[in-house]
Amino acid sequence: MLIVSTFLICSLIIALGVVLGLKIYKDDNQNKNTICEGHYRYAAVASDAGPPCSTIGTDMMARRGGSVVDASIATLLCQCIHNFHSCGIGGGFFMTVYERSKRAAYTILAREMAPREANETMYVGRSSTEGGLAVGIPGEIRGLWEAHQVGGKLPWKDLLQPTIKLLKEGYTVGIPVAIAMAAQTEVVKRQQGLKDLITNPQTGKFYLMKALMLFIMGTLTKDIVADIRDAGGIITEEDLAGYTAPTKDPLVIKLNKNETIYSSILPSSGVVYQFILNILDGYKLSTDSVSTKEKEILTWHRIIEAFKFAYAKRTSLGDGDAEDDAFRRELDELVQNMTSETYAEDIRSQISDSQTFGTNYYGPTFYDDVTTGTAHLSVLAPNGDAVSVTSTINLYFGSKVVGSRTGIIFNNEMDDFSTPNTVNSFGIPASPANFIKPGKRPLSSMCPSIVVNSDGMVNIVVGASGGSKITTSTALVTALTQWLGMGIKEAIDHRRLHHQLLPAHIDVEKGFPQYILDGLIRLGHNITLKDSAGCVVQGILQQQEGVVTANSDYRKHGHPDGY
């Protein structure tokens, strides 16, 4: 067996010092060189887990004749047992699927949902991050089942078998899980279930279930509800039975008169990602935009300004499906504006090339909290189809609730909602668009996206994990590859900048060129250095037919595969 005790690794990291462990996770050139860019002709898989997961996805397509959706499901199941601190069957996801033969795309909305007993003020004086009350109705398995019904070719059980095999035989625990456990030492001590999870036979039995309904309405329903209720939660059997993961049209925008971008819809941040690119599109960025130091500083300044305007609009976004008609109309109008060329032109006219401005200049109406976590997967199939999917249980180990009956780590997605009558440190009130309502899904930073050229060929499959930085990191990698001439590895490895308007500073990954930072400071920007980018990107780039490159971010030790 290849089982390596999670606690053994965790203890080793603690003994060496958590700081050393984190440096291993984030270290620069050495880690960059250990993750090779994959070069393929037909298909590729880029996951943020170890080699077995991307290989499983490749095998589904190359050896078994599976679809891009089959490969994505099989890989994601593997990914979420390798990185069980970030995603899993107790969470949910957004998935964007492109079908080349139809020149069309769709999205699966498997975001967790507020239970029927939830209300706006339920977290006043209570924790929204730990315990059963923090758990939203899980959507992972329902969503994967729905994706399989729409786009799967292979039998459902065939997609589960590789992960079942890993669970039965054991596998090496990766550095990201070990570090997450080191960072959550007290939680690990409290939760005996965490250390047993990857070798728990019950988990394997769960994956052996042949039908979704055994999860939603069958024999596991009572156990799931009991697990959550034991921890103080309010989810009922009716909540599980009533949960849906609908297939919907994606958010679509055309750029440069040539590129079409398909992204997940609200309550994801697909529209925020597209708005950033919509603003930048008008600058006609190219390799010339970074050909001198002065031009490079200006380009990064414009990127940061686009981030700030986009995050100002984010504060008014939320899930309209659970709201009244008036709210939905306002939300639809905002989304239409953010994806329109004329609105982006108006925003560009407000961007000064000679200075930045204070927070109020960008027009935030409210504020919303953003958190960390998640896992991402990008897949390109030999027939030209593609999937971009981001999955999460929210914070490390979600709600910290591990079901004593099911072994499931449950999400703490309810923490992504806003709470009324609260203000942040800048005096800005919480966003009503993201207040809790029964059946509502919380706003997310996830934005799995696919960029297609005028011939219908996929240019890039991209997405990220890492809280609020998901959206800016995904936009950066897209801009660097589509406009600024970088390959996929160079773009993903590149040092990152992030600005979410509040707090009023740029988060800068250490190692970012100092002359650019000096230039940004001269323009009035505040700089805060960070040890890490705080976000990991998985991408596949296809600049011409038969030339496919894939890269998994070295920051999380993922590995691509393909053929």
Q: Is 243 exposed, middle or buried (0-12, 13-18, 19+ CB in 10 A)?
A: buried
| Local structure of 409: helix, strand or coil | strand
Q: Please tell me the chain's helix, strand, coil percentages from 3-state DSSP, rounded to the nearest 5.
A: 40, 15, 40
Tell me, what amino acid is at 528? T
Determine whether the annotation assigns residue 111 to a binding site. Answer: yes
Q: Is residue 303 part of an annotated ligand binding site?
A: no
Sole residue written with tokens 């600049």: 543
**Placement of tokens 């890039």 in the chain:** 460
Residues 30 and 317: their CA atoms lie apart, in Å, by 40
**What gap in Å lies between CA 87 and CA 379, rounded to an integer?**
18
356 tagged catalytic: no
Task: Give the active site residue among 374, 390, 478, 549.
Answer: 374
CB atoms within 10 A of CB 488: 30
376's tokens: 């991402």
DSSP string, 7-70: HHHHHHHHHH-HHHHHHHHH-SHHHHHHSPPEEESS-EEEESS-HHHHHHHHHHHHTT---HHH
Number of residues that this document lists for the chain? 563
Q: Annotated binding residue at 329?
A: no
Query: Which residue is it, tokens 């984030």?
Result: 26
**Residue 396: phi, psi to the nearest 5?**
-50, 125
Distance CA 494, CA 471 (A): 16
- In whole angstroms, what is the distance from residue 54 CA to residue 72 CA? 9
**Count of Cβ atoms closer than 10 Å to residue 16 Cβ:** 13
d(CA 366, CA 419): 12
- Identify how many contiguous H helices and E strands the chain contains and give both numbers: 21, 17
Helix (H) or strand (E) holding 20: helix 18-26
Tokens 């329902």 found at: 142
Q: Using an 8 Å Cβ cutoff, are 433 and 366 in contact?
A: yes
CB 250 within 8 A of CB 273: no
The answer to whether 445 is annotated as binding is yes
* Binding site residue list for L-glutamate: 111, 392-394, 416, 444-445, 467
* Binding site residue list: 111, 392-394, 416, 444-445, 467
Which sequence positions are flagged as catalytic? 374
